[in-house]
Amino acid sequence: MSFANFPMGTINPTLEMSFQGIVERAGLATNLEVCLDAGDANSYTSGVRWLDTSGNSNNFLFGAAAGAGTDDPTFNGTPGGLSSSEYMAFDGGDSFHYDGSIPDWANNIAYDNANFTLVCVFAHPETTNGAYFFTTYEGASAFAYPVFQWDWGTAEKVGFYVAKQGANVWSSSGVVYPDNVTTNNTPHFLAVSLNEATGAGGAFFYEDGDYSQIGSADTRSSTYSNPGTGDGRGPFIGGTGSSNRIDNGAKMYGLMVFNAALSKANLDALYAEIGPRFGLS
């Protein structure tokens, strides 16, 4: 496989650490586009923006507008607490909207030669619904758009797909779900890594320290079919601008976007330091 094999620094076993600090120690900061961490005071203390700590100013608004609204997620915990008690809570009608025009890194996820990793620490309630962690979809779908989500049904699996005008760009059979089933009301470290140009073996899912297999395979082909060229919307976290919202009771602890397909070893390094904060090992 040809996933990026980035240098990794010394792992610090301290539990109380920010995502940004962990990424830097792992030697992965160069490829970090977005780092949102509910427990990091540099990412959120108060107000209506979830701040990106990567240095790229990829900030997200609570809801569709800068003012307070009924579609705003709710911060829980103590600012800067860096524990499992700090998270963004959803009530079934909330989402985060990108603060500005859609950036190139978000469009590139749906383009030819896409090369990225999406990471989310998330706990979902016991429900038969599902929703979007991250997407550039809103309304008309003349552009291609990615969707990183959890299952609509009872299986409670992580999924990812790219679509355009009702056709699948990545995944010939709809949303790609690995076999692992996530536990309700429990934090999980979830990721999808994809290098479109690699083709065979160029994509994989990751959950709580291991491959999240598709069938019996650790990886799958990453080749896109008829990928996008136009601008998407958002991006959005927790739903689209107006639909597919994360259910009431869901908790998002943080989200990261990398502009490279991280290797399993890279994700292992991040998980080794991030996981213990949420009782994962």
The string of pLDDT tens digits covering residues 207-265 is 999 998 887 899 999 999 988 787 888 899 988 766 677 878 889 999 999 999 999 99
Asked whether the beta carbons of 21 and 9 are under 8 A apart, the reply is no
| Pairing between β-strand 210-211 and β-strand 96-98 as defined by DSSP bridges | unpaired
The residue that leads in pLDDT, 71 or 61, is 61
Whether the CB-CB separation of 180 and 212 falls below 8 Å is answered with yes
Mean pLDDT across the stretch 184-208?
Answer: 93
pTM over 0.85: yes
Would you say 221 and 202 are in contact if contact means Cβ atoms under 8 Å apart? yes
Closest residue by Cα to residue 134 from 112, 162, 111: 162
Q: Sheet holding 158-164: strands in order across?
A: 49-50, 60-62, 96-98, 236-237, 131-135, 145-150, 158-164, 167-170
* Best-predicted range by mean pLDDT (51-55, 110-114, 148-152): 51-55
Q: Band the pLDDT of 2: cuts 50, 70, 90.
A: very low
Rounded Cα–Cα distance for residues 184 and 181 (Å): 9
d(CA 224, CA 152): 23
Enumerate the H helices of the chain as residue ranges: 19-25, 104-108, 264-274
From residue 127, give the alpha-carbon distance in Å to each of 50, 147, 163, 226, 249. 26, 20, 25, 34, 10
Burial of 81 (0-12, 13-18, 19+ CB in 10 A): middle
120 or 143: which carries more pLDDT confidence?
120
* Element at 142 (helix H, strand E): none
Question: Where residue 20 falls among pLDDT bands split at 50, 70, 90?
Answer: very high
- CB contact set of 28 (below 8 Å; sequence gap of 6+): 6, 8, 258, 262, 266, 269, 270
For residues 186 and 123, give the distance between their C-alpha atoms in angstroms, rounded to a whole number.
5
pLDDT band at 10 (very low <50, low <70, confident <90, very high): very low
Low-confidence winner among 5-19, 30-44, 109-123, 152-166 (lowest mean pLDDT): 5-19
Smallest CA-to-CA distance from 257 within 1, 4, 40, 31 is with 31
Distance, C-alpha 265 to centroid of its chain: 18
Q: Are 175 and 228 in contact (CB under 8 A)?
A: no
Higher per-residue confidence, 91 vs 244: 91
16: tokens are 């109380």
